Chains A and B, each alone.
Chain A
Amino acid sequence: MSTPLKGRTSPTLVVGAVLVGLVVAAALLSFAWTPHDPLKVESTARLLGPTGDYWFGTDKFGRDVFSQILVGARTTLYVGVIAVGVAAVVGTPLGMLAGMSKRWLGEFVMRVNDLVLAFPALLLAIMLGAVYGASTVTAMIAIGIATIPSFARVARSGTLQVMSTEYVLAARSAGRSRLWIARRHVLPNIGGLVIVQCSVSFAIAVLAEAALSFLGFGTRPPTPSWGRMLQESQELLTVHPRLAIVPGLAIAVAVLGFNLLGDGLRDRLDPRLERR
C-alpha cells in the first residue's frame, strides 16, 4: 500500500476532483456572493424562466434558483463533512480495535457493528425526527451513526492485513506496545483506505441528506437544500420541470464527483485494480 499521492493520474481521479471542486467552490462562493438573496421572496418575479438576471430562473415564491443552489451546496457539504467526520473518527478506531484485540472482543465489536448496520440512516433520521423534531442536525447525526459500520469494516480488514506482516511481528517481538503498533504501523497503512471510504461515504451522505430533506426529515425551510428544492418542485413539475432538473443535477454532480474521486484514489492505492 502506497500513499495516495504517488502514481500516475487517472482520468477518473481528475474528473472526480473537478466535480467535487465545483461543489466546494459553489459553497465557498455563496459565503461571499450570490446573485440574489436566496431567501428573498419576490412576488413580481414568480416562476420566471432563465434570464440574464436569474440564470436558472425563479421558484414559486420568486426566489432565485441559482442563489439557492449555491447556498444549498453549503448545506450539502456541511451535513456530509460532519456526518462522515463523526463516522470516520468513531468507526476507524473501532475497526482497528476489532482487528488488533483478542478474538472474542473483535467478534463482539463486529456483531454490534452488524446491529448498527440494521438501522439505515433514513430510518434513524425518521426515528430521531419523530422524537425530537426533524432538523439538519438530526439528519446529520443519523447519517453519521449509520455510516460508522462501513468505516469499522474497512479499518478492521486493513488492520488484519497489517497485523499479519513481518514488520509488525518484528515490532511485537521488540516488545512494542499495541498502542505503539497501532499508531506507528496500522494507522499510516490503513490511512489511504480510510480516505477512500470518506469519499465514498460522502457520496452516500449527499444522497441521504437529499432524500431526507425531500421527505421533510432533514433541513427545515427556509434554509436552502437541494433535496427540499426537489420536493417543492414536485407540484409544479408538469409546467416547470426545470425546478426539478436543476437541483437534481446538482445532487448528481456532487454524488458522481465523490464516487469518482473515491474510485480514483482507490486505483492509486491498489495497483492490481489500476491495470483494469
Chain B
Amino acid sequence: MVVAIVRRVAILVISVLVASIVVFAFMAVLPGDPAQVALGVNATPELLAKTRQDFGLDRPLVEQYLSWMGGVLHGDFGRSYVTGEAIGPQLLDRLGVTLWLVGAGMLVALVLAVPFGALAAVWHRRSGGTAISGLSQLGVAVPAFLAGILLVQVFAVQLRWLPSGGWTPPNQDTGEFLRGLILPALSLGLVQGAVLTRYVRSAVLDTLGQDYLRTARSKGLRPYPALMRHGLRNAAVPVVTVLGLQLATLLIGAVVVERVFVLPGLGSMLLDSVSARDLLSVQGIVLVLVVAVLVVNFVVDLLYAVIDPRLRAAR
C-alpha cells in the first residue's frame, strides 16, 4: 500500500514538472517577442528593451523557466506584461469562483445521476428505464453553453426568477450568491449528470446479477435496501473513475459557462488574458488548470484503493 502511494506521488510530481515544461515551452516558441506582443507594434526600441529587462525576458530560456517555476512554487506567478500587476492573487481569486461553480455542477450531476442511473438499471427493459436512458442520451448531446443559453431564456428572461448572470461573493450576500449560482451550476451539471447517469446505470446493472446481491436478498433484505447496502458500493468503483474524468471536464466546461453567465472565474480570466495578449497570465492559468486535472486523476487513483479493498491488496 505505502509503496503504491509513494509510486503514485512520484508519478504525479514528475507529471506536474513535465506539464510545466510543456506549458512554458509552448509559450516560449512563440513567433515573436512577448514584450512586443504585449506593447504592440508601435512601441519604441528603448521601451521594448526596458520591458524585456524588467521581466527578465533577455535571460536564457532555462533560467527564465527556473525563475518562473521557482516563483510558482511559492505562489508567485509573476507580473502581467500588460498591466504590470501581480498575477497570483487575481488567479487565486478567480480560481475560487471556478471551484464554486465546478463543485455546484458536480453536485447537480450526482444528485441527478445516482438515483436516475440506479432506477434505470433496476427498471431496465421496462418503459421507465428506457425513458431514463433516452433522456440521458439526449442530455449528453446538448452542449453546456446551449443549456446555459436556454436556461437563461426561460428562468431569467421570461420567468424572471433568477439572475441571468453576474457574481455575488458568498460572504457578501449568501442568498444572492446562491441564486446566481443556480443557473450556471445547472447548465454545467445537467449535461454531466446525463453522462454520469449512463455510467451509474451500467455499473449498477453489473452488480444486479452478482451472487452477493442474491445472498443479501436471501438473508431477507428487501430489494432496495439490498441495492443500497451492497449494490451501490460495488457500483462505485467504475463510477468514481468516470467522476474523476468528469471533474476535469467540468473544470474546462466552466470556461465556457463562465462566458455565458459573465462569471469572474478562471475561464474568463484565461479568455481575457488571451485577448489582451497577456501571455504570462495565460501561461499561469493554463498551468493551474492542467495541474488541477493531474491532481484530480491522482486522487481518483487513491480513492480506488479506499473504496475497493481488493484493489488495495493487488497493488
Contact = CB atoms under 8 A, between A and B. Distances in A.
B294 interface: yes
Contacts of A230: 145-146, 149
Contacts of B26: 127, 131
A150 to B, nearest CB: 10
B274 A118 contact: no
Contacts of B259: 214-215
B67 interface: no
A234 B149 contact: yes
B124 interface: yes
Contact of A237 (B137, B157, B249, B256): B157
B282 A130 contact: yes
A256 B138 contact: yes
Contact of B18 (A115, A120, A126, A234): A115
Nearest to B124: A276
Contact of B19 (A118, A132, A251, A256): A118
Given A127-B26, A230-B149, A114 B15 contact: yes
B140 A259 contact: yes
Contacts of A122: 252, 255-256
A259 B289 contact: no
A34 B237 CA distance: 51
A126 B259 CA distance: 14
Contact of B286 (A115, A127, A241, A259): A127
B119 interface: no
Interface string A109-130: 0010011011110110011011
A261 B8 CA distance: 37
Given A123-B289, A126-B274, A207 B256 contact: no
B185 interface: no
Contact of A252 (B22, B27, B141): B141
B150 A244 contact: yes
Main secondary structure of the interface of A (DSSP, over half): helix
Interface string B257-279: 00110000000001100100101
B150 A123 contact: no
A251 B157 CA distance: 24
Contact of B15 (A111, A215, A248, A256): A111
Interface string B143-160: 111100110110001000
B236 interface: no
B146 A244 contact: yes
A123 B286 contact: yes
A119 B205 CA distance: 32
A132 B11 CA distance: 32
B142 interface: yes
Contacts of A260: 137
A8 B103 CA distance: 43
B256 A127 contact: no
> A118, A248, A251, A259: which has the most chain B beta carbons within 10 Å?
A118
Interface of A: 111, 114-115, 117-120, 122-123, 126-127, 129-132, 203, 207, 210-211, 214-215, 230, 233-234, 237-238, 241, 244, 248, 251-253, 255-256, 259-260, 276
Interface of B: 11, 15, 18-19, 22-23, 26-27, 29-31, 124-125, 137-138, 140-146, 149-150, 152-153, 157, 205, 248-249, 252, 255-256, 259-260, 270-271, 274, 277, 279, 282, 286, 289-290, 293-294, 297
17 contacts: A111-B15, A115-B294, A117-B293, A118-B15, A118-B248, A120-B248, A123-B255, A126-B255, A126-B274, A127-B23, A215-B255, A230-B149, A237-B157, A248-B143, A251-B143, A252-B141, A259-B141
Given A123-B289, A127-B23, 9 more contacts: A111-B11, A111-B15, A130-B274, A210-B143, A214-B145, A237-B157, A251-B146, A255-B141, A256-B137
